[in-house]
Amino acid sequence: MDLSAALNTKDSTKEDVQLAQDKEITKVQELTYELKVKDVMTTDVVTVSPKDSMNNVREILRIKRISGTPVVQDNQLVGIVSIEDLIRCLVDGEMDASVEKKMTRKLEALHADEPVIHAVRKFDRYGFGRLPVIERDQGKLVGILTKGDIIEGLFKKLQIDYHEEEIHRYRASHIFEDIVADKARLHFQYNIVGQDFNRAGESASALKKTLLRLGFHPQIVRRVAIATYEAEMNIVIFANGGQILASVDPERIEIEASDAGPGIPDIEQAMQPGFSTAPEWVQELGFGAGMGLSNIQKCADKMDLTSQVGKGTDLKATIYIKGRGNR
């Protein structure tokens, strides 16, 4: 395949097509200018010396499964020997000859700080399978580059860029970026009906859907949803209704669940996993296992519980988006 055509680079014979495409520079094109040869080259280079025999070269190419290697003397690149040179020696029965007699001396090399687009053009112009890479000042061999290295390097870079874009998107920053204000928070309120087990869980699932639509990371959303579900269940089981207020900004999600229910006499005891005061019929439905509060605590980065017997309960759970991140 013609690499420059594949990468859609400039070519004087394709001027008309290029005109239309000039306006729209593809991501891959942009990357071939942005990436340097040193970013994609192989640095662990197998080399031979001019005094080695062609028999040695054959062994090296076979063991390393490569099709050519630079010839180096005193750290300086003096030539390149490839499988084609080797075949010629085999045909002529000259496998004992030294590398310096058979290597290619007319050298094309790349500089480590050149953009990858230069390499792409050079590969197309000369049709070589590999190009040695040298340091600009000293001419020291620092790496080797094949077309495969370029493709792999582009894929890696694309993947990194894509990953960064995803993280960016998941942080929901875009919606907040669209809002012109020094500080912006979104509030969602859900009203909970007490003792209604058929509707229990609806607020948590509505909040979960909303947060996913806003683009928050699924891990974060899962933690928020579990904490909200448990808080919602507590209101349904113990209070005669209440309210869940979620407030969201790019740094944190806060959930506040409040009710005017019976209140908790001993918060420390209520926090103990397995401690439950739920009536038996509620427990038979599978609720009231005494794990709600500890589940909330596990999911939240911060939890505050205040309660007054006979007055009601107020629970605040905070989940930080950037801080502890995705567990």
Partner 1 sequence: MKLQEIVKELGLEVRCAAHNLNKQVSGGYASDLLSDVIANSKKDNIWITLQIHQNIVAVASLKELAGVIIVNGREPEEGALKKAEEENIPIMLTKLPTFEVVGRLYKLGIPGKM
DSSP-derived letter for residue 216 is: B
- Contact between 145 and 185 (Cβ < 8 Å): no
Site for partner 1 in 292-311 (CB under 8 A): 292, 294-295, 298
Please state, as a whole number, how many other Cβ atoms lie within 10 Å of the Cβ of residue 261. 20
Token pair of 275 as six digits:
């401690």
- Contact between 70 and 45 (Cβ < 8 Å): yes
* Separation between Cα atoms, residue 40 and residue 7, nearest integer Å: 16
Point out which span in 31-39, 119-127, 291-299, 308-316 binds partner 1 (CB under 8 A): 291-299
286 near partner 1, rule: CB under 8 A: yes
Shortest Å, Cβ 173 to partner 1: 25
Of residues 182, 181, 199, 183, the one with CA closest to residue 191: 199
- Contact between 8 and 28 (Cβ < 8 Å): yes
Token pair of 59 as six digits:
């062994």
Point out which span in 35-43, 125-133, 151-159, 279-287 binds partner 1 (CB under 8 A): 279-287
* Separation between Cα atoms, residue 310 and residue 257, nearest integer Å: 17
289 near partner 1, rule: CB under 8 A: yes
12 near partner 1, rule: CB under 8 A: no
Point out which span in 18-26, 180-188, 281-289, 306-314 binds partner 1 (CB under 8 A): 281-289
**Cβ closest to partner 1, residue 82 vs residue 203:** 203
Shortest Å, Cβ 300 to partner 1: 14
**Cβ closest to partner 1, residue 53 vs residue 283:** 283
Binding mask 226-245 for partner 1 (x = CB under 8 A): x--xx--x------------
SS3 122: helix
Binding mask 193-222 for partner 1 (x = CB under 8 A): ----xx-xx--xx--x-------------x
* Separation between Cα atoms, residue 134 and residue 114, nearest integer Å: 10
214: CB partners within 8 A, 6+ apart: 172, 175, 186, 248
70 near partner 1, rule: CB under 8 A: no
H or E element at residue 203? helix 202-213
**Cβ closest to partner 1, residue 3 vs residue 206:** 206
**Cβ closest to partner 1, residue 104 vs residue 297:** 297
- Contact between 88 and 74 (Cβ < 8 Å): no
Shortest Å, Cβ 286 to partner 1: 4
- The C-alpha R_g of the chain, in whole angstroms, comes to 33
225 near partner 1, rule: CB under 8 A: yes
192 near partner 1, rule: CB under 8 A: no
Please report, as ranges, the residues that interact with partner 1 according to CB under 8 A.
197-198, 200-201, 204-205, 208, 222, 225-226, 229-230, 233, 285-287, 289-292, 294-295, 298
